[in-house]
Amino acid sequence: MSVRRVVSTGVLTLALFAPLSSAGLAHADPALALRSQTLKTQADALRAQVEALQLRQSIATEAYDTAVEDTTTAISEEVRAQSALDAATGDSATATQDATRRVRSLYMSGGSASLTGGISRVLSSGDLDDVDATARGALLARSVVADDTTTVTAAATARAGAAAAEAHLQQVRVAKTTAQAAAKTAEEQVTTALAQQRTLLAAADTAVAQAVADEEEQARQAALAAAAQQAAAAGVADAQAKDTSSAGDTSSVADAVAGASSTATAAIAAAWTREGMSYVWGATGPTTFDCSGLTQWAYAQAGVSIPRTSRQQYAGLPKVPLNQLQPGDLVFYANGSDPSSIHHVALYLGDGKVLHAPHTGDVVREAGVAMSGLFGAVRPSAA
């Protein structure tokens, strides 16, 4: 059994070996063939668990990104709601103070009732000059009362506005608390999935790990073939990823963006400068990224603001059929048939290739568009 190469992903570090020939081993040593089959069974189980944990991590990362975005939005809304409450409370206090001042002034002047009584007295005395002065005073009093009624109404309206603003602020604070709790839960789920991967691999002995490596490579090739068939059925041409030794080759940028819009060209050029940088869940750049963090960052460099998470990007941007992909489009992958199952996004380069940040332990790199779970696409440059 000869060593072929070693792959190190940070989380998953396994040696890849030349495939075992069970038939050949059976002729040479039945016991060795049985052990080979046992290792293969163990490898199948371990590989399936690792793949399931990687998917769980991807889904949990999407939930984490969404919760963080919701928390940020809630905090901003809380600031706005607090400002509205402060303004409404201030308006209410001012209106109330105005009403109180007017009532006090009227009372100190003797009030409208006193002025009316004065009119009765001067009419009895027959002094017309006094009647005229008293009438003017009564008219002024009625005016003050009318203004005061308006002021009191304004004060009541302001108080109602303040109460509504306070209620809204409380709702926003509940939403913020909920989003923060969701972010914490999602963070724990990601961390747990990663820890379980490490535990699984640490517990596997060398022989099983070697067998897993072969199984992983075979499964990867089978998955790529199945994804290529799915892509072809959708009208998408697939391409094999370029050799990583060509990282930084600027001619690749020119080839990829031929025919793309200026916005898409700028986004792709920006994304290429991140090639080889590490995947970190929840990261949005400029030197580490998760999948949607990379696409958001790339388009931000092109002057276009797009949503934070892969599901939000798919939901909020113009859709494009898979058989009409253009360089700069975003391609999405899911583990179901509903948009809520989207967990990965990549930047389409053209010629059946994408640039993406795959998962923990990997780096920003090129791949064929036909990866498992190909779901749909959007065109940010058309937004």
Q: Catalytic residues, which ones?
A: 291, 344, 356
Tokens 């939930």 belong to residue: 63
Alpha-carbon span 121 to 366, nearest angstrom: 101
Alpha-carbon span 302 to 284, nearest angstrom: 15
Furthest-apart CA pair in the chain: how many Å? 140
- E strand or H helix at 6: strand 3-8
**Hey, what amino acid is at 266?**
A
Helical pair 291-301 and 262-272, crossing angle rounded to 10 deg: 130
Alpha-carbon span 133 to 130, nearest angstrom: 5
CB-based contacts of 101, cutoff 8 Å, min separation 6: none
Kindly state the tokens that stand for 272.
């290429």
CA atoms within 13 A on the CB side of 1: 14
CB-based contacts of 236, cutoff 8 Å, min separation 6: 322, 323, 325, 352, 369, 370, 374
Q: Are 311 and 66 in contact (CB under 8 A)?
A: yes
Q: Are 256 and 345 in contact (CB under 8 A)?
A: no
DSSP 3-state percent helix, strand, coil across the chain (nearest 5): 65, 10, 20
- E strand or H helix at 28: helix 22-28
CB-based contacts of 95, cutoff 8 Å, min separation 6: 151, 152, 154, 155, 157, 158
Identify how many contiguous H helices and E strands the chain contains and give both numbers: 9, 8
Long-range contacts from 243-250, C-beta under 8 angstroms, 24+ separation: 244/276, 244/365, 247/275, 247/276, 247/365, 248/275, 248/276
Alpha-carbon span 298 to 359, nearest angstrom: 18
